[in-house]
Each structure stands twice: as structure tokens, then as C-alpha cells.
Chains A and B, each alone.
Chain A
Amino acid sequence: QQQVKQSPQSLIVQKGGISIINCAYENTAFDYFPWYQQFPGKGPALLIAIRPDVSEKKEGRFTISFNKSAKQFSLHIMDSQPGDSATYFCAATLDRGSTLGRLYFGRGTQLTVWP
């Protein structure tokens, strides 16, 4: 059973537009929700993360919105740039205090930003 469901599978956005990727999770025990960015031939790299006690977190052009009651969270990329073209993964895990547990990943969204 997929613990984290992600949509859309692919997304095409014009330069300067807003990219929105949505995720939903099953396990209410999850308490840490990171987003990873992966370029071809590279490993995933942490982009931004949020905990369920806040509804929104913003870092530069990247914003996570979190809806705990709906068990949903989303990534918004403002002013999308061609360099943002990559695969984005949402994930969920348990915060064990000094470290994190295993990550449960969504299936990924391939974002293409046209110049």
C-alpha cells in the first residue's frame, strides 16, 4: 500500500508560472514531511521540509502548504525557472528526536519549465 500518494505524475509550466504538486498520506503518526528534488543521474536532494504543527513554510520561491485534517500537503514553486526542471518527490517519516526514520516517498512528479 502506497503510504504517500503524489500527483500529478508530470507537469509542464511556462517560465514565470506557478508549479503545484500535491501529496496525501495515510499514517497520522508521520510528523516530518520533506520534499526532494532529483536531477537525472543524481541522487535526491532535500529542498524544503515541514512539520505538522505549521500550515505553511516558505523558503525563497518554494512554499509548502500543509493541511493536517485532510492529511495533504503541497509544494508551490513560484516564478518557475527552466533550472527548476527536475523530478520532485514528497516524502513522509517519523521524527525520532535525534534522527529521522525511513522515508516513505511518493512516486514523483516530473516538472518541465519551458523558457
Chain B
Amino acid sequence: GAGVSQSPRYKVAKRGQDVALRCDPISGHVSLFWYQQALGQGPEFLTYFQNEAQLDKSGLPSDRFFAERPEGSVSTLKIQRTQQEDSAVYLCASSDTHIQYFGAGTRLSVL
């Protein structure tokens, strides 16, 4: 497809479980961003990759959050020992120049 693809679209986890969220960016896009969007709020920055290098992870809320992009394309956001406050939509965006293209997101619900 031509757009940013995220999977799964929905994820339900029991508190304490680990989850992995996948992002397939637009082919050739060097920059990749992860954002967290709580219900009724604007997206909040989590982390940024340029190719495979994670240049900014200042938005990750705790050391339970980990992101990688090993080959400079697909990225995975991993959350360990999920908590209820992790429930949100996780958005991935890729960019070539001045437009960030967003995927539809993964809605994570932690019970």
C-alpha cells in the first residue's frame, strides 16, 4: 500500500502483559515517529528514528517502553508489563521532507 500501515489495529492486554506494536512506514521514508494519543487529546511524541538510528527517545514515559527500527524500515514499539495508564492509541508517522504521514494507529486497551 501507499500509506503508513500499523498492526494490529486493536490490542487488548491484561495488566502486566507485554505487547508489540508494528509500523510499516511509506517506502523510502527516512524519518519515523511514534506518538501516543490518549482519548480526547492530541498526539504526544514518544520517539524518533532517522533510518535505524533512534535520535530522540525523550518522550518515552518509562523504561517499560522500548522502540526499534533495526533495518531502517519497519519499526516496533514494545511495552513491557502493561499498565492501565498505557491504554491509548499509538500512532506511527513517517516523513520524507516536511509532511508527516500518519498511520491509523493501534488502539491499546489494558484491562
List residues of A whose CB falls within 8 A of some B CB: 6, 32, 36, 41-46, 49, 89, 91, 95, 98-108
List residues of B whose CB falls within 8 A of some A CB: 4, 30-31, 33, 35, 40-45, 48, 50, 56, 59, 91, 93, 95-105
Which residues of the partner chain B approach A36 to less than 8 Å between Cβ atoms? 102
Contact of A43 among B4, B31, B59 (CB under 8 A): B4
Which residues of the partner chain A approach B100 to less than 8 Å between Cβ atoms? 46, 100, 103
CB distance from B95 to the nearest CB of A (A): 6
CB distance from A54 to the nearest CB of B (A): 15
Which residues of the partner chain B approach A44 to less than 8 Å between Cβ atoms? 43, 91, 102
CB contact under 8 A between A104 and B104, given known A99-B31, A99-B95:
no
Q: How far is the CA of A99 from the CA of B102 in the complex (A)?
A: 15
Which residues of the partner chain B approach A101 to less than 8 Å between Cβ atoms? 48
Contact B42–A89 (Cβ < 8 Å):
yes
Contact A107–B42 (Cβ < 8 Å):
yes
Contact B95–A102 (Cβ < 8 Å):
no
CB contact under 8 A between A102 and B45, given known A43-B105, A108-B40:
yes
CB distance from B30 to the nearest CB of A (A): 7
CB distance from B92 to the nearest CB of A (A): 8
